[in-house]
Structure 1
Amino acid sequence: MTITLSTVTPVYSGEHYLAALVEQLDLLRARWERENAPIRLAESVFVDDGSIDDSAAVLRGLAEKYPFVRVVQLSRNFGQHPATAAGILYTSGDWVATLDEDLQHPPHMIESLLRKAVTEQADIVYVHPSERVHKNLIRDLGSRSIKKLLAVLTGNKNIEHISSFRLLRGSVARATSSVCSHDTYFDIALTWFTDKIRYISEPLHDERHIQSGKSGYTLRKLLSHARRMVLSTHTKVLRAGGLLGLGMFVMSLFFTAYLVINAFFPIHVIEVKGWASTMAAIMFIGGITLFLLGIVLEYVSIVLLHTQGKPVFFVIDREMDAPLRAYFADSGHARSV
């Protein structure tokens, strides 16, 4: 039984990197064929996301030279996540690996991702940078801080480890891509279909950013990513607001009971008349209002996730991992992750 792998790479300004990337993918493909491995590289899909340089011409040349290279042309620039989802829908592999165009995601690491996936029966494996990716304290610290904050707000601990270098089980990848809408965050949508998520730590470096000081992600784009993350998941904030309202309501009842008892059996003299009853009324009405608002927002969140395509269930087959497990169990192919 031969297991197939597809790779997907969104392309925006990669004319200087694409040839080297395809060469590295071809080396991986050739080694697997030479070793008669139970996996083969079926295709490498490159999605031209309204590229601003000569990437389109470079891709045409690579497609003519390498039979496994496929090019998908989008009508305009839609962004990295939509381009990735579009490319995934053009894949046929049992596994799908997504890589950036600028070589910060070395193709040889795909084998480590596969090993992690099949040995731990995972459906998604991310590469978590073990070092600073951009060699820029503000850029790297800002990225990590936003991910940590969003992980706390949404209650999704996987947010801290997500990256665009990932290995996905093909059925999960294509199902997720098929339901993604304009404001759906792709990596959050993946968690709708599976919770078998792992990650490996490897040194990744964004050489393009290090050398030029330019990044494809502006502050505006990063904030947009954060907004879509929140919209694509339930957040702890909604539940916390509802619980806070409930707490205020209960406190108002206790406070009112205290005022009634204090009126008949004076415990404490309240000098300002009407202050205590006013505070009790504010806490009572405010608590009910906040609690009901939390319920409404929770319901709106559920409706939103339903309209975005969150499934009730999803069936998956992990039996095909056996040949790869045997392959990696061989000491000659064992690799540290």
Structure 2
Amino acid sequence: MDKSFAPPCTADKPYISVVVPCFNEEEVLPIFYDETLKVLKSINCENYEFVFVDDGSSDSTIKIFRDISEKNKKVHFISFSRNFGKEAAIYAGLSKANGIFTAVMDADMQDPPSLLPQMLKALTEEGFDCAATRRSTRKNEPVLRSFFARKFYKIMQSMSDVKVVDGARDFRLMSETYRKAVISLCERNRFTKGIFPWVGFNTKYFEYENVERAAGKTKWSFWKLFKYSIDGIIGFSTKPLALASFLGVFMLLVAFAFLIFIIVRKILNGDPVQGWASMACIIIFASGLQLFTTGILGLYLSKIYIEVKQRPIYIVKEEK
């Protein structure tokens, strides 16, 4: 790297903070740490810090944190009292980070550390506030999972005023101003992929092909991803509520039209309306629609319920 790009390693605060949320990542953590450290040294940065966040792991993740921290005083960690979720871990890490620039990265090596120099250049030389990443392909990802992921991004883009980029990762490098803006949103129902673009600022995206995990297994099941997508839609759009209202008005018009049909048929034929099966189908359909719209209202109410209780986003068991 150009010497003019060498970071001011004599600063009072770290030049780069690397925030790493972890949940049962014992197999891949040493690989991630070694590779990321090599990249930081390649840009002549000795003034760094790692902020690892243990999200209630049941393996030896926290032990690895302690061992690394003992060898390198620039490594800090937070351990939760239980599993609070990746969103809480990211928030905790960003709150503890103290660098001029802060990176959020997964430990599974699906976020290539080799992109950090380019991302840093975008902030220091090109005037961006944030350098984000997105996958240009979904190679080696299950077909069904890829299909629903693409549909989710399309729904978010059509329903929300916040632009959530298709394939966007949590992996990004941000300025101190950007980081403080993100942690100023202390909501309990967090959807980071929506929060990042919501705070605004100038962001540059870097594309790369999908990378498989270096070791271990993914912690994101299809059901967890589905619930996460629902949180995103509910958290950044009120259009589902408008949809529920629209469906109610639509069914009212359908019922009125059907009533007119019955009256006209009675006048013309003089026969009572026949067909209990069709009537049963109509009743079941209308009942299902009512439950669907009530469910939408229930989701919004449940989010309000969680927010007003003001419980902490996470509870720390151990910190260094």
- Structure 1: distance between partners of 2:23 and 2:205: 26
1:229 counterpart letter in structure 2: G
Q: Contact 2:157–2:163 at 8 Å: present in 1 too?
A: yes
TM-score, normalised on structure 1?
Answer: 0.65
Higher RCO, 1 vs 2 (CA within 8 Å, ≥6 residues apart): 2
Query: Structure 1 residue 231 and structure 2 residue 234: aligned?
Result: yes
Query: Structure 1 residue 69 and structure 2 residue 75: aligned?
Result: yes
Match of 2:33 among 22, 31, 34: 22
Q: Contact 1:14–1:101 at 8 Å: present in 2 too?
A: yes
Query: Structure 1 residue 166 and structure 2 residue 179: aligned?
Result: no
SS in 2 for 1:174: helix
Match of 2:210 among 200, 204, 207: 204
Q: Deviations over 1:148-186 (max 9, x none)?
A: 222222243324242121122223223322433221212
Q: Deviations over 1:123-145 (max 9, x none)?
A: 23221112325432222333222
Q: Deviations over 1:48-69 (max 9, x none)?
A: 1111211111111111122221
TM-score, normalised on structure 2?
Answer: 0.68
Match of 1:151 among 157, 168, 175: 157
Deviates more, 1:120-129 or 1:98-107: 120-129
- Structure 2: distance between partners of 1:189 and 1:241: 25
| Map of 1:6 onto structure 2 | 17
SS in 2 for 1:231: helix
SS in 1 for 2:170: coil
Structure 1 residue runs without a partner (length 5+): 34-38, 252-270, 275-292, 309-337
Q: Deviations over 1:202-247 (max 9, x none)?
A: 1231225xx77x5311222112211221232234455677799999
Would the alpha carbon gap of residues 221 and 86 (structure 1) be closer, same or farther in structure 2, given more than 3 Å must change?
Answer: same
Would the alpha carbon gap of residues 141 and 125 (structure 1) be closer, same or farther in structure 2, given more than 3 Å must change?
Answer: farther
| Map of 2:199 onto structure 1 | 193
Q: Contact 1:94–1:171 at 8 Å: present in 2 too?
A: no
- Counterpart mapping for 1:1-337 below 5 A: 2=8, 4-33=15-44, 41-132=47-138, 134-207=140-213, 214-238=217-241
- Structure 1: distance between partners of 2:150 and 2:212: 15
Please give the root-mean-square deviation of Cα atoms over the aligned residues, in Å.
3.8
SS in 2 for 1:83: helix
The offset of 1:272, in angstroms, is 8.1
SS in 1 for 2:19: strand
Q: Contact 1:133–1:140 at 8 Å: present in 2 too?
A: no
Structure 2 residue runs without a partner (length 5+): 1-6, 254-263, 268-292, 309-320
1:67 counterpart letter in structure 2: K
1:202 counterpart letter in structure 2: Y
Q: Sequence identity of aligned pairs in percent?
A: 24
Would the alpha carbon gap of residues 121 and 239 (structure 1) be closer, same or farther in structure 2, given more than 3 Å must change?
Answer: farther
- Structure 1: distance between partners of 2:95 and 2:27: 26
Q: Contact 1:44–1:68 at 8 Å: present in 2 too?
A: yes
Aligned length: 263
The offset of 1:92, in angstroms, is 0.6
Deviates more, 1:228-237 or 1:89-98: 228-237
- Structure 2: distance between partners of 1:205 and 1:114: 21
Would the alpha carbon gap of residues 41 and 149 (structure 1) be closer, same or farther in structure 2, given more than 3 Å must change?
Answer: farther
The offset of 1:109, in angstroms, is 0.9
Q: Contact 2:156–2:164 at 8 Å: present in 1 too?
A: no
- Structure 2: distance between partners of 1:238 and 1:50: 35
